[in-house]
Amino acid sequence: MLPSKRRSKSRQNRLNKVFSFLARHVPKLSRIKLFIGCPVIRQERKKSKRAFCHVGHHKEAICCAPETARLPLNHIVGLLLHELGHLATGKGDLEADVWCAKVLGVPIQYKGKLHLEWVDLKPH
Ligand SMILES: [Zn+2]
Ligand SMILES: [Zn+2]
């Protein structure tokens, strides 16, 4: 296997692991599938550096760009829960974040240069 291929495989594994870990703690996520390497996101990433994940493309699935796995864990969790908020509400960004705060008790924050979804992972 090419080194670049191997790197992208281990990145996808990381993303899958984070996703399964989250799904064990967030029952609503356990019915959802993760689709890494969606060609539509690859196109969207050429236009926007903030394009990492989306929903509504495949039924009951969150599509992710492989690059998502390179982000800090706080961003990965934030993105995945935000997307789950879209699936749960069928609505826009605001409603998705309100759902995360109200139903999951997880406030979605926006941080970093890209102003990306971010979740505080410190135990309280
Ligand atoms: Zn997609
Ligand atoms: Zn959104």
pLDDT tens by residue, 61-72: 999 999 999 999
- The 10 Å Cβ neighbour count of residue 32 is 21
* CA 28 – ligand 1 centroid, Å: 20
Domain count, the chain: 1
As a whole number, the mean pLDDT across the chain is 93
* CA 83 – ligand 1 centroid, Å: 12
CA of 45, nearest ligand number:
1
Please check whether residue 9 lies inside any domain of the structure. Answer: yes
Q: Terminal CA-to-CA distance of the chain, rounded, Å?
A: 43
Please check whether residue 74 lies inside any domain of the structure. Answer: yes
Please check whether residue 123 lies inside any domain of the structure. Answer: no
| CA gyration radius, the chain | 14
110: containing domain: 3-118
In tens, the pLDDT along 8-25 reads: 788 889 999 999 999 999
**Exposure letters 92-115 (e unless 16+ CB within 10 A, then b):** eeeebbebbeeebebebeeeeeee
CATH at residue 9: 3.30.2010
State the pLDDT confidence band at 124, using cuts at 50, 70 and 90. low
* CA 124 – ligand 1 centroid, Å: 35
